[in-house]
Structure 1
Amino acid sequence: MSEQQVPKPAKDPMKSFRGVLAGTLIMEAITVALALPVVAKLGGGIDSAKGWAVIAIAVALVVCCGLLKYSWVVPVVLALQLGLIAFFFVLPAVAIIGLLFLAILVWLLWLRREVAKRMAAGTLPSQQPTTGS
């Protein structure tokens, strides 16, 4: 008795998740870059170590958008979130950005896991047999 194979969906839903994650990372990079005036006013200026760290994180988020096809990028993105949260004692406003986007990323990763489970079980709508009328 042969095992029944689960049909592949017509469109790969994981490509959609990469697009959503890329869009989220771009929005986060913009938000982090918009925090630079706060760093300039409260954090010792943009040319301080705090300013350069915020700029580096914003640039790293944009770079990660282009590398989302690799599996090692998601832990890097989560590490960048922890880098933002580490600003809690020196610049709480930047840390709040990190906490908000960490919550969004955790939710997106949970959604991706659920879709992967449903895809493996063959229960996605695009995996269902079509009925001709």
Structure 2
Amino acid sequence: MSEQSDRSDGPQSPPASDPWKSFRGVMAATLLLEAIVVLLAIPVVGAVGGGLNGVSLGYLIGLAVLLLLLGGLQGRPWAIWVNLGVQLIVLGGFAIYPGIGFIGVLFAALWAMIAYLRAEVRRRQDHGQSPPG
């Protein structure tokens, strides 16, 4: 066999990077962090808030499970909109304890920023201004 077939004719360029793959990772990691923060609120609600009851504990654990499940769906085109919609459920945490609602405010702002960055990347791709990979 000839070694000629193993060589390329010129310098190889690296494969084009997929900004959406890393973007999906950022969204999944954000959901994971949000779920952790919600779970860390359980002892706070128990000690400082009105105390844990079935409704508040079910809300917090159910919300954390929902956030973790959504982390696996970030490859879908509608995932960002569902993530933004879930923030309304987190904002509903004001009914449980104001600190939970504050978590909702912080993460809603973060998800709004992520949606803006997504729109900016899409706009740049549409105009052929993608960052070099």
Deviation at 1:73, TM superposition (A): 2.5
The yes-or-no answer on 1:67 pairing with 2:73 is: yes
CA deviation vs aligned residue, 1:18-42 (integer Å, no higher than 9, x gap): 1111111111110010001122232
CA distance in 1, matches of 2:87, 2:68: 13
The partner residue of 2:109 within 89, 103, 111 is 103
CA contact (8 A) 2:80 2:115 kept: no
Match 1:121 to one of 118, 123, 127: 127
Q: Is the 8 A contact 2:39 2:64 kept in 1?
A: yes
Q: Secondary structure at the match of 1:33?
A: helix
Aligned-residue sequence identity (percent) comes to 42
Among 39, 44, 53, which residue is 2:59 paired with? 53
Residue 11 of structure 1 is aligned with which of 7, 17, 21?
Answer: 17
| 8 Å CA contact 1:86, 1:95 repeated in 2 | yes
Figure out how many residues of one structure are paired with residues of the other and give that number: 118
Query: For each residue in 1:28-61, what CA deviation from the matched residue of structure 2 results, as whole angstroms up to 9, or x when unmatched?
Result: 110010001122232431x421110111111111
Conserved? CA contact 2:35–2:68, under 8 Å: yes
- TM-score, length of structure 1 as denominator length: 0.80
Distance across 2 between alignment mates of 1:78 and 1:113: 14
Secondary structure of the structure 2 residue equivalent to 1:35: helix
**Unpaired runs of at least 5, structure 1:** 1-8, 128-133
Structure possessing the higher relative contact order (Cα contacts under 8 Å, 6 or more residues apart): 1
* CA RMSD after TM alignment: 1.7
- Give the number of the structure whose alpha-carbon radius of gyration is greater: 2
User: Which residue identity lines up with residue 51 of structure 2 in the other structure?
Assistant: G
| Structure 2 alignment gaps of length 5 or more | 1-14
